[in-house]
Amino acid sequence: MFLKAATPVIQLRQMATLKEISLRLKSVQSIAKITKSMKMIASTKVNKAQRGMEAARVYGNSGIALLEHTDVKVEPKEPLLITCSSDRGLCGGIHSSVSKATKRNIAAAGGKGHIAVLGQKARTQLTRDHRQYIDLSFDGITKYGATWYETALVGDAILAAKLPHDGVSIIYNQFKSVIAYEASAIALPTFSTLNAAPKLAAYEIEEPVLDNFAEFMFGNAIYWAVAEGYCSEMCAKRSAMENATKNAGEMIQKLTLRYNRGRQASITNDLIDIITGAMAV
């Protein structure tokens, strides 16, 4: 008597479980389609981002080469930190790396400095415990890719703010390969430090021209950092979406196997009930 009463409960539980598995399976399949599409989109953007990064590197390295030839020493005690990030997620820990590097620079300067943040992701992370250091913030960076015009406007806004500092450090994700990046910094001097360089007299540059060059080098360095960070972000997003698609495929296989086993067990129980009833008659 008790067995007959318990059998329908077991069947109902099995059917409910099968329905839940079916819904979960459909959900994971939808997620797999989305991640696969995002991987394909990121793959198409990687090539364009690499071309822009290589072009930006040429101009960026030329400015750094001048600083090396003139023996400019950039050792700021109150640095201006420009953290290059973006507004997008789903790309691993690429934003956390620049945020952590920014915090290390603040700690190395003895808790002194000012921060200008490019992108919402790094700003959100830095706001938690370094809110007092953030003076400027820019959103929408690299929404349509890294462009010189956009970064030049950012550079003008930072210079117009006239934040007190004795050196600039642009923190960004340096592109190493399609699967590797590293948080790095571009050190830039102030105009007074550049003007006092030991070997600058060999270039015979007038002060107004040097001032314009310093501003151009500043904007160009930001463009270089943003282009490198954008390329690293697209590669990281492609890798993240590839891993997500692979994991979703494994989940689909497990859920499909579990669903088929449950369905087979349910059918077997139904057949046993039918045969048992027929034998009882």
Q: What is the pLDDT of residues 32-82, one digit of tens each?
A: 999 999 999 988 888 889 998 998 988 888 888 888 888 888 888 889 999
* Cα 253-259-264 angle, rounded to 5 deg: 125
pLDDT at 117 over 50: yes
Rounded to whole angstroms, what are the CA distances from 161 to 20, 217, 226? 57, 18, 20
DSSP 101-164: HHHHHHHHTTS--EEEEESHHHHHHHHHHHGGGEEEEE-STTBTB--HHHHHHHHHHHHHHT--
Residue 251: its pLDDT value, please?
92
More confident residue, 213 or 171: 171
Mean pLDDT, the chain, whole residue set: 85
The model's confidence at residue 281, banded by pLDDT at 50, 70 and 90, is low
More confident residue, 75 or 172: 172
Residue 253: its pLDDT value, please?
92
pLDDT at 275 over 70: yes
39 backbone dihedrals φ, ψ, rounded to 5°: -65, -45
Rounded to whole angstroms, what are the CA distances from 142 to 52, 96, 148? 12, 18, 11
Average pLDDT over residues 137-147: 86
Average pLDDT over residues 148-170: 91
Candidate from 35-44, 120-129, 139-148 with smallest mean pLDDT: 139-148
CA neighbours closer than 13 Å in the CB half-sphere of residue 240: 16
Residue 97 CB partners (closer than 8 Å, separation 6+)? 173, 181, 182, 183
CA-nearest of 156, 160, 266 to 216 is 156
pLDDT at 10 over 50: no
- Residue 227 DSSP SS3: helix
Residue 34: its pLDDT value, please?
93
Residue 69: its pLDDT value, please?
84
Round the CA-based radius of gyration of the chain to a whole number and report it. 29
Residue 280: its pLDDT value, please?
67
More confident residue, 1 or 80: 80
pLDDT at 196 over 90: no
The model's confidence at residue 205, banded by pLDDT at 50, 70 and 90, is confident
Residue 11: its pLDDT value, please?
46
41 backbone dihedrals φ, ψ, rounded to 5°: -65, -45
pLDDT at 14 over 70: no
Residue 187 CB partners (closer than 8 Å, separation 6+)? 74, 167, 168, 169
